[in-house]
């Protein structure tokens, strides 16, 4: 069903050099109520980004005038809008690199239109949540107040260790966004601990034990295998 979002036109920037895929993306999004701008190059994408200020970017990595990862860096200098990477590159390291630079999601080619639309809706909803929540994240029975450094579960205070607080609050900065092992280790323990992923697994396990009804099937803290963790956004 088209996403009219109360008749607000949602602009989406597409940067994809494959003409067939580009046209498919445009038609699929337009049918579902979005307004699109498109480019086949990084240079053209930068121009459209500066001119139209889109609500979301769909970005290919293999572009004729450079690597799409350079565009992620360009956007993240001044903007926190969602970036959905769309790429045939499927290695874990490629995904880690994109998430480290600031991408919000990664969809491998080939892809289905329903999955694409679902990823777009989640990314837009996540961005709206960030702009409205005033430092309070709430999902089901979990409430995280980053301003007052408090965590409630079923309206009961959850007592966490300082490290557990840090990990949870980092994830709560951008619900739904993947934070890599390296990013979390650097922010919590320091750059000299970037390879000590066992620390992270231990503390994430303890954090889940405090928050999840079924830690083995988590609702709130989700694992991206080989990459990192994210806080569920919906």
| pLDDT band, residue 140 (cuts 50/70/90) | confident
What pLDDT, on the 0 to 100 scale, is given for residue 202? 94
Residue 159 sits in a domain of what CATH number?
A: 1.10.10.10
User: Are residues 14 and 118 located together in one domain of the fold?
Assistant: yes
Give percent of the chain with pLDDT exceeding 70. Answer: 93
Q: Which of 70, 101, 131 is the last residue of a domain?
A: 131
What average pLDDT does range 143-152 have in this prediction? 85
Same domain, 127 and 17: yes
Q: What is the mean pLDDT of the chain?
A: 88
Same domain? For 123 and 137 the reply is: no
Q: What total of structural domains would you count in the chain?
A: 2
- Residues 43-66 have a mean pLDDT of 93
Looking at the structure, do residues 154 and 73 belong to the same domain, yes or no?
no
Position 29 pLDDT exceeds 90:
yes
* Claim to verify: residue 67 and residue 148 sit in the same structural domain: no
182, 112: one domain:
no
CATH number of the domain where residue 58 is located = 3.40.50.2300
Q: Which pLDDT band holds residue 3 (cuts at 50, 70, 90)?
A: low
Kindly provide the residue ranges of all beta strands, DSSP E only, lying in the chain, ordered along the sequence. 10-15, 34-39, 56-59, 62-63, 66-67, 83-87, 105-108, 136-139, 142-145, 150-153, 156-157, 179-180, 221-224, 228-231
* pLDDT score of 131 more than 90: no
Q: What is the mean pLDDT of residues 42-53?
A: 92
Are residue 140 and residue 115 in the same domain, yes or no? no
- Asked if the peptide bond before residue 110 counts as cis, ω within 30 degrees of 0, the response is yes
Q: How far is CA 112 from CA 14, 24, 68, 117, in A?
A: 16, 11, 21, 9
- Judge whether 102 lies within some domain: yes
Do both 110 and 142 map to the same domain?
Answer: no
Q: Which residues contact 48 (CB under 8 A, 6 or more apart)?
A: 13, 37, 38, 39, 54
The answer to whether the pTM exceeds 0.75 is no
Share above pLDDT 90 across residues of the chain, in percent, rounded to a whole number: 56
Of 131, 146, 167, the one marking the end of a domain is 131
Q: Do 32 and 95 lie in a common domain?
A: yes
For the chain, the straight-line distance linking the first and the last C-alpha, in angstroms and rounded, comes to 19
pLDDT at 6 over 50: no
Supply the range of the domain harboring residue 171. 133-231
In a shared domain, residues 123 and 141: no
Residues 20 and 101 in one domain: yes
* Alpha-carbon gap, residue 94 to 115, rounded angstroms: 20
70 CB burial (10 A radius; 0-12, 13-18, 19+)? middle
Residue 34 has pLDDT above 70, yes or no: yes
């Amino acid at each position: 069903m088209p996403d009219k979002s109360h008749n607000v036109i949602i602009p989406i920037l597409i940067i994809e050099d494959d003409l067939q895929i580009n046209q498919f993306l445009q038609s699929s999004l337009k049918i579902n109520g979005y307004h699109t701008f498109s480019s086949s190059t990084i240079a053209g994408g930068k121009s459209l980004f500066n001119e139209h200020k889109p609500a979301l970017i769909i970005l290919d990595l293999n572009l004729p005038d450079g690597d799409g990862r350079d565009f992620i860096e360009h956007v993240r200098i001044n903007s926190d809008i969602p970036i959905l990477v769309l790429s045939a590159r499927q290695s874990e390291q490629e995904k880690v690199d994109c998430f480290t630079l600031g991408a919000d999601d990664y969809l491998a080619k080939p892809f289905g239109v329903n999955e694409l639309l679902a990823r777009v809706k989640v990314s837009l909803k996540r961005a709206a949540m960030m702009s409205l929540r005033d430092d309070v994240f709430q999902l089901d029975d979990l409430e995280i107040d980053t301003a007052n450094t408090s965590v409630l579960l079923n309206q009961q205070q959850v007592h966490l260790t300082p490290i557990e607080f840090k990990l949870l609050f980092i994830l709560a900065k951008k619900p739904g966004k993947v934070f890599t092992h390296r990013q979390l280790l650097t922010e919590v323990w320091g750059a000299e601990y970037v390879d000590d992923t066992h620390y992270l697994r231990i503390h994430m396990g303890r954090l889940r034990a405090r928050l999840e009804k079924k830690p083995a099937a988590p609702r709130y803290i989700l694992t991206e295998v080989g990459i990192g963790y994210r806080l569920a956004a919906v």
